[in-house]
Copies of this chain bind each other. A is one copy, B any other.
Amino acid sequence: MASLQEIGVAAAINLISAFAFLVAFAFLRLQPFNDRVYFPKWYLKGIRSSPKGSGPLVRKFVNLDYKTYIRFLNWMPAALKMPEPELIDHAGLDATVFIRIYLLGLKLFVPLLFLSFTVLVPVNWTGGTLEKSKDLNFSDIDKLSISNIPQGSKRYWTHVAMAYVYTFWTFYVLYKEYKIVTTMRLSFLAAESRRPDQFTVLVRNVPPDPDESVSEHVEHFFCVNHPDHYLLHRVVYNANHLADLVAKKKKMQNWLTYYQNKCERNFGKKQVIKTGFWGLGGAKADAIEYYTAEIDRLSKQEAAERERIISDPNAIVPAAFVSFKTRWAAAVCAQTQQSSNPTIWLTQWAPEPCDVFWKNLAIPYVELTIRKLLMAVAMFFLTFFFMIPIAFVQSLANLKQIEKYLPFLKPLIEVNTVKGLIQGFLPGIALKIFLILLPTILMTMSKIEGLTSLSSLERRSAAKYHLFILVNVFLGSILTGSALQQLQTFINRPPSELPEIIGKAVPMKATFFITYIMVDGWAGIAAEVLRLVPLVIFHLKNTFLVKTEKDREEAMDAGCLAFATSEPRIQLYFLLGLVYSLTTPILIPFIIVFFAFAYMVFRHQIINVYDQKYESGASFWPDVHKRLLIGLVISHLLLMGLLSTNEFKKASPILIALPVLTVWFHLFCKGRFESAFVKFPLEDAMVKDTLERATEPNLNLRNYLQEAYVHPVFKGGEFERPPAIYEEENNPLVPTKRNSHRSSKHESDVDASSDAGF
């Protein structure tokens, strides 16, 4: 266990590195040639464009105005300035609600911090066990924690009572937040203008019919079963191969541009490349000729494939987007069962056109079930056998162990700064490396499971990631670390004693988690704002590929909030906060700093940087709520384990009520709010329909919906997300404009796709 001094060193290191990141950010973001890295959202919205000033050339690349450097932390208050309704208009509801999670962390833990330090810390401090037993190695932090209270002491009643107080406070905060988010979602949906997905239902598992094609079968089925409401449908082509071709061609085009640019700069000198594997072997050829030929070849293949898909009935998968005359009818069709066999004619709300994950629309039901089983098994193995490498790395983080097994390092480790450094960085970074590898695997697994929209894929991956973090980061860190500390005794115990062992280990691991919060949380957030990777990539692209303004637009990588990875990580902080608020309250301030810092940074990012791929209307909130409650239940169980190892078993019957109450609270909230996130009420649909009929009696809905759900490769190679036409804005950072035109995006979407020439 580390002493207060050691934690101080680690905190200082982390604070300094975070500060360094911030200074670097402040400097880099003021340079005009980085503008597209740090303010891409404004470019995408069409409010900013590349500097075309009449000043000297250098002004285009370097900011020479020294005044701006003085106010280099100005972005922080600026980020907090934009009011929430405007933020929803500007960044979308998903992003706005996402940063509310950080705010929720503050709302939850600031009062808990206050309570812990006025009630629990004095009780713990005066417990006085650790001072008596001289043989134990303890530090000041332990004296603040529950470990300082003697076994079976009546002082534990304080913790039991506080467990109740904390739980009810959590309920209150969560209930209020769920209510607010629900209201936000409903008013967001109500304010939304006409969108194709409001009228459309995704139908999957169309049963094969010997006499009819899929298209005819769908049309007949819906004409019969929704006679007054059916408008049109669009079958789904299996264009996976075509999409591959298009992607390949685009890559070739990039290389062609690269060599053309190079050629121009070298005054027409020929560029020779090797055409073999990865450019390492094979015959030499002129680069421009080679790529032009390749692109030509691919274009022909692509055209042939296009032809084949449109003419071949086997290229049509048994799925379709069915559009209705009214939102009411679409809501009805999405919420009802069509056939007595629940595995065919499956209907669900169509995702937004840009949210559709096209590859998975083609999977038949039986295959889907098998895939799900396989992925569940794979997830099980991934979760439980990933622990072995982590255990090894964790064991390194224990200084005592290192000194024992690598005694020659002892003199180095004994230096206080080095000691702090190792304890501050090593365990956190080891975990971090594992975690970086993971999201891609999990997303691939979710894709195999066959979900049909990007938003649901992200939610699914987040659930997997959460499980993984829970088992491997949280339980894994607690258990393996203790296992090495307790060595002999641990191996001989049956796994059924897990809760008690964990309960015992929890307060001992407080220091580890404090350093983890600093490395993963503080420094991680500071790195997020700096955007090093997009910065480098943008400048590389800008140097080698960009010829026109449009190219530069494409070279810009705005990125987006990665719900699948960020949310489960936040949940870990919530879990740590809930668990340690009762046992080692000293951890809470570190979490509060994390939440406050993250809230500010991400608010800045969603305003200036991120460009969300889709808008799901905060449909992830039920998951966030549920996982927070899972964390709460875990904190209850650990407290029970801890108290029973400390011979205070009489509190268990009183504590058991807490998880029961939590489960009930979950069900209550689910009943009260969840349907707002999964269903679309008929009343609201009817209101919108009626309003529309009154305001636009001559609307040609058929034309409007005809081309909405066309596979993106048939639209010209990729999702078209053209900039909407906005009025010019003067304030470049956090402009305030009430009447943003988020809603006009889709009309322009249609225009753009016709521009694209397909």
A→B interface (CB under 8 Å): 186, 221, 224-226, 228, 328, 331-332, 335-340, 342-343, 345, 369, 373, 376-377, 380, 494, 496-500, 644, 660, 664, 668, 671-676, 679-684, 686
A333 to chain B, nearest CB (A): 8
Q: How many angstroms from the CA of A736 to the CA of B353 in the assembled complex?
A: 60
Can you report 27 A-B residue pairs in the complex whose CB atoms are below 8 A from each other?
A221-B683, A224-B683, A224-B686, A228-B228, A332-B336, A335-B335, A336-B679, A336-B681, A337-B675, A337-B681, A339-B681, A339-B683, A340-B681, A340-B684, A342-B671, A342-B673, A342-B675, A342-B676, A343-B671, A345-B683, A369-B671, A373-B664, A376-B660, A494-B497, A494-B644, A496-B496, A496-B498
Closest B residue, CB atoms, query A345: B683
Most chain B CB within 10 A, of A340, A674, A679, is at A340
Q: How many angstroms from the CA of A328 to the CA of B497 in the assembled complex?
A: 56
Given contacts A335-B336, A339-B683, A373-B664, 9 further A-B pairs with CB under 8 A are A224-B683, A226-B682, A335-B335, A337-B679, A340-B684, A342-B675, A343-B672, A369-B668, A496-B498
Q: How many angstroms from the CA of A345 to the CA of B338 in the assembled complex?
A: 23
Q: How many angstroms from the CA of A672 to the CA of B496 in the assembled complex?
A: 36
In the bound complex, residues from chain B placing their C-beta under 8 Å from that of A343 are 671-672
The 5 closest A-B pairs by CB, nearest first: A342-B675, A337-B679, A496-B496, A335-B336, A337-B681
Closest B residue, CB atoms, query A373: B664
In the bound complex, residues from chain B placing their C-beta under 8 Å from that of A500 are 494, 496
- Do B335 and A337 touch (CB < 8 A)? yes
In the bound complex, residues from chain B placing their C-beta under 8 Å from that of A336 are 331-332, 335-336, 679, 681-682
- Do B682 and A225 touch (CB < 8 A)? yes
In the bound complex, residues from chain B placing their C-beta under 8 Å from that of A683 are 221, 224-225, 338-340, 345
SS class of chain A's interface: helix, strand, loop or mixed? Answer: helix
A637 to chain B, nearest CB (A): 12
Most chain B CB within 10 A, of A331, A499, A682, is at A682
Q: How many angstroms from the CA of A415 to the CA of B55 in the assembled complex?
A: 116
A296 to chain B, nearest CB (A): 49
A308 to chain B, nearest CB (A): 34
A524 to chain B, nearest CB (A): 35
Q: How many angstroms from the CA of A679 to the CA of B644 in the assembled complex?
A: 47
Closest B residue, CB atoms, query A652: B495
In the bound complex, residues from chain B placing their C-beta under 8 Å from that of A337 are 335, 675, 679-682
- Do B676 and A340 touch (CB < 8 A)? yes
Q: How many angstroms from the CA of A681 to the CA of B342 in the assembled complex?
A: 9
- Do B338 and A681 touch (CB < 8 A)? yes
Most chain B CB within 10 A, of A331, A337, A497, is at A337
Closest B residue, CB atoms, query A497: B496
In the bound complex, residues from chain B placing their C-beta under 8 Å from that of A335 are 335-337
Q: How many angstroms from the CA of A195 to the CA of B450 in the assembled complex?
A: 41
Closest B residue, CB atoms, query A335: B336
In the bound complex, residues from chain B placing their C-beta under 8 Å from that of A664 are 373, 376
- Do A672 and B342 touch (CB < 8 A)? yes
In the bound complex, residues from chain B placing their C-beta under 8 Å from that of A186 are 340
Q: How many angstroms from the CA of A336 to the CA of B499 in the assembled complex?
A: 43
Q: How many angstroms from the CA of A373 to the CA of B660 in the assembled complex?
A: 10
Closest B residue, CB atoms, query A496: B496
In the bound complex, residues from chain B placing their C-beta under 8 Å from that of A686 are 224-225
Q: How many angstroms from the CA of A337 to the CA of B338 in the assembled complex?
A: 17
Closest B residue, CB atoms, query A328: B225
Q: How many angstroms from the CA of A328 to the CA of B337 in the assembled complex?
A: 11
A349 to chain B, nearest CB (A): 12
In the bound complex, residues from chain B placing their C-beta under 8 Å from that of A681 are 336-340
Q: How many angstroms from the CA of A674 to the CA of B342 in the assembled complex?
A: 8
In the bound complex, residues from chain B placing their C-beta under 8 Å from that of A679 are 336-337, 342
Q: How many angstroms from the CA of A343 to the CA of B342 in the assembled complex?
A: 27
A378 to chain B, nearest CB (A): 12
In the bound complex, residues from chain B placing their C-beta under 8 Å from that of A498 are 496
In the bound complex, residues from chain B placing their C-beta under 8 Å from that of A340 are 186, 676, 681, 683-684
In the bound complex, residues from chain B placing their C-beta under 8 Å from that of A676 are 340, 342
Closest B residue, CB atoms, query A690: B224
A68 to chain B, nearest CB (A): 47
Q: How many angstroms from the CA of A300 to the CA of B626 in the assembled complex?
A: 56
Q: How many angstroms from the CA of A672 to the CA of B340 in the assembled complex?
A: 10
In the bound complex, residues from chain B placing their C-beta under 8 Å from that of A682 are 225-226, 336-338
In the bound complex, residues from chain B placing their C-beta under 8 Å from that of A660 are 376-377, 380
Q: How many angstroms from the CA of A139 to the CA of B433 in the assembled complex?
A: 60
Q: How many angstroms from the CA of A534 to the CA of B626 in the assembled complex?
A: 52
In the bound complex, residues from chain B placing their C-beta under 8 Å from that of A226 are 682
Q: How many angstroms from the CA of A671 to the CA of B376 in the assembled complex?
A: 16
Closest B residue, CB atoms, query A332: B332
Closest B residue, CB atoms, query A674: B342
A636 to chain B, nearest CB (A): 16
In the bound complex, residues from chain B placing their C-beta under 8 Å from that of A221 are 683
Closest B residue, CB atoms, query A369: B668
In the bound complex, residues from chain B placing their C-beta under 8 Å from that of A380 are 660
Q: How many angstroms from the CA of A644 to the CA of B228 in the assembled complex?
A: 64
In the bound complex, residues from chain B placing their C-beta under 8 Å from that of A338 are 681-683
Closest B residue, CB atoms, query A649: B494
Closest B residue, CB atoms, query A672: B343
Closest B residue, CB atoms, query A668: B369
In the bound complex, residues from chain B placing their C-beta under 8 Å from that of A672 are 342-343
In the bound complex, residues from chain B placing their C-beta under 8 Å from that of A345 are 683
In the bound complex, residues from chain B placing their C-beta under 8 Å from that of A494 are 497, 500, 644
Q: How many angstroms from the CA of A369 to the CA of B670 in the assembled complex?
A: 12
In the bound complex, residues from chain B placing their C-beta under 8 Å from that of A499 are 496
Q: How many angstroms from the CA of A377 to the CA of B644 in the assembled complex?
A: 23
Q: How many angstroms from the CA of A331 to the CA of B373 in the assembled complex?
A: 32
A479 to chain B, nearest CB (A): 16
